Chain A
Amino acid sequence: MRSYLPSLVIISSLLALVVFGASQLNYTWQWGEIPQYLAENEDGTWYRGALIYGLTETVKISSLSLASALLGGLLLAGGRTHLYWSLRIPSEAFFKMVRNTPLLVQLYVTYFIFGPILDLDRFWVAVLSLSAFHAAYLAPIFQSGLDSIPKGQAEAAQSLGLPKLNTYLEILLPQALRVVLPACTNEAVNLIKNSALLSAIAIFELTTEGKDIVADTFMSFEIWLTVGALYLLITIPLSSTAIYLEKRLKS
């Protein structure tokens, strides 16, 4: 049995610090106001409160972006190592640009430049920026996964006459995914956290909603603590699932 005692001690002292600090600042807690931002009941039907609306928006954008980032990362990794050398130069250039500029700047560039040119609304600007950014980080992860597969695997596939694409999709990739699953989940968590930056282009995701409520009510302590907890609500299960999968795949 693992002992939970140390973590309990740390968490409760942090809580104590917040409670004590708030009283020093004469902060008036208004936790009673929070539930309306989670869910509202009007005439017997439940509606999503602003924070839960923001959370679903965050989940929606993040999962769409994650799906396309995974696909983009795979293509980039394939482009950089395996498939066709003509893909190598453009993917290398993309890779260098995305990894060496701030995400916030990329977001603005996409929003103010590519958005109008390509006639994208802000939702797709958000998805495009997030997925491009994380594709550039997933690519080397996939690549290291592919590199970890012994050379003999590709040779065996070649000597059976399997075409390149089948070798990649059916032999190398499934084995590589096993290796990179924990790192990918890490990236998924990073992506969800980075989606908070979308508040800069007025996407109504969780952080934007939190900011708006705080601007209206000045309940900064309660709202930001709740927003933090809501992020944890999706990121913690995600990382635990990955740990579980990793263990199961190993056996």
Chain B
Amino acid sequence: MSASQTTTPAIQLENVEKWFGTFHALKNVSLSIPDGQRVVICGPSGSGKSTLIRCMNLLETPQSGSIFANRQQIWPRPQNLSEIRRELGMVFQQFNLFPHLTILQNLTLAPIRVRKATRSEAREEAMAFLQRVKIADQADKYPGELSGGQQQRAAIARSLCMKPKVMLFDEPTSALDPEMIAEVLDVMSSLAQESMTMVCVTHEMGFAREVADRVIFMDQGEIVEDRPPTDFFGNPESPRAKVFLSRILRH
């Protein structure tokens, strides 16, 4: 889908530094993601990949550097942060559906409150998205009544209801039972086919190979490799990536 790419990036990080106490989580990271690109970020645990993606919508605030999303500055923190955030869908490892609301209410809350959609508009759109992720029949249930895979699909639908320009996935399948991973990856692949800008932290290398335009490998707070998936999987340059891949692909 490189036809839809433009020169101004959807996400841009410049010299981002992040410390957690004495732990240096991101070391002078710069990164630019064009519109419509699908990026997979991988790396061993503690490598800073979750921190990196959480910086993209400022769930983590860096100590220095600057971050732009959809051509607007989000760090240093602007006044209209929540306006910018609504254009950045985020899917979490733990789904983070609102347990006291039904699936439908989970999906319609933000459109009604933030985008000022009418109740019926919001319902209609939400049902369309639930249809897409194939759980329209679960609309009136509470999150706790759904399987993990269904919850994660509902969470993706909830993000899509805000009509984001970029979708961020932070290990979306890591908390799922193996038999449910495929149904979530299918939804993500179908999103990718619509040239949605996607950034995804994942260990699902099959998904990376099939869907990603670009694989970013991180280790110890640094971007070690940043290449198309065929190159990365076929011929990793750094010893660290080689070790990582041999560990992951062995299974």
Where the two chains meet, the residues of A that have a C-beta atom closer than 8 Å to any C-beta of B are 150, 152-153, 155-163, 166, 170-171, 174-175, 178
Contacts and interface: CB of A to CB of B under 8 A. Distances in A.
Contacts of A152: 92, 94, 96
A170 B110 CA distance: 11
A171 B114 CA distance: 14
23 contacts: A153-B96, A156-B90, A156-B92, A156-B97, A158-B82, A159-B85, A159-B90, A160-B109, A160-B110, A160-B159, A160-B162, A161-B82, A161-B86, A161-B87, A161-B162, A162-B109, A162-B110, A162-B113, A163-B82, A163-B113, A171-B98, A175-B100, A178-B100
A178 B92 CA distance: 24
Contact of A159 (B57, B97, B113): B57
B100 A156 contact: no
B114 A160 contact: yes
Contacts of B57: 158-159
A237 to B, nearest CB: 26
Nearest to B82: A161
Contact of B92 (A155, A162, A175): A155
Nearest to A156: B96
B46 interface: no
A170 B94 contact: no
Contacts of A158: 57, 59, 82, 85
Contacts of A159: 57, 59, 85, 88-90, 159, 168
B109 A170 contact: yes
Report, as a range, how many residues of chain B touch the other chain: 20 to 34
A188 B155 CA distance: 38
B83 interface: yes
A155 B96 CA distance: 8
A166 B89 contact: no
A161 B168 CA distance: 14
B139 to A, nearest CB: 18
A175 B96 contact: no
Given A160-B158, A161-B114, A170-B109, A150 B100 contact: no
Contacts of A170: 109, 113
B85 A175 contact: no
Nearest to A164: B82
Interface string B87-129: 1111010101111100000000110011000000000000000
A160 B157 CA distance: 12
Given A155-B59, A158-B82, A163-B82, A150 B89 contact: no
B113 A166 contact: yes
A160 B100 CA distance: 17
Contacts of B59: 155, 158-159
A155 B57 CA distance: 10
Contact of A160 (B86, B99, B168): B86
Contacts of A178: 100
A162 B96 contact: no
B82 A162 contact: yes
Nearest to A174: B100
Contacts of A150: 94, 96
Given A159-B159, A160-B110, A175-B100, 5 more contacts: A150-B94, A158-B59, A159-B89, A160-B158, A162-B113
Contacts of B158: 160
Contacts of A171: 98
A158 B89 CA distance: 10
B166 to A, nearest CB: 11
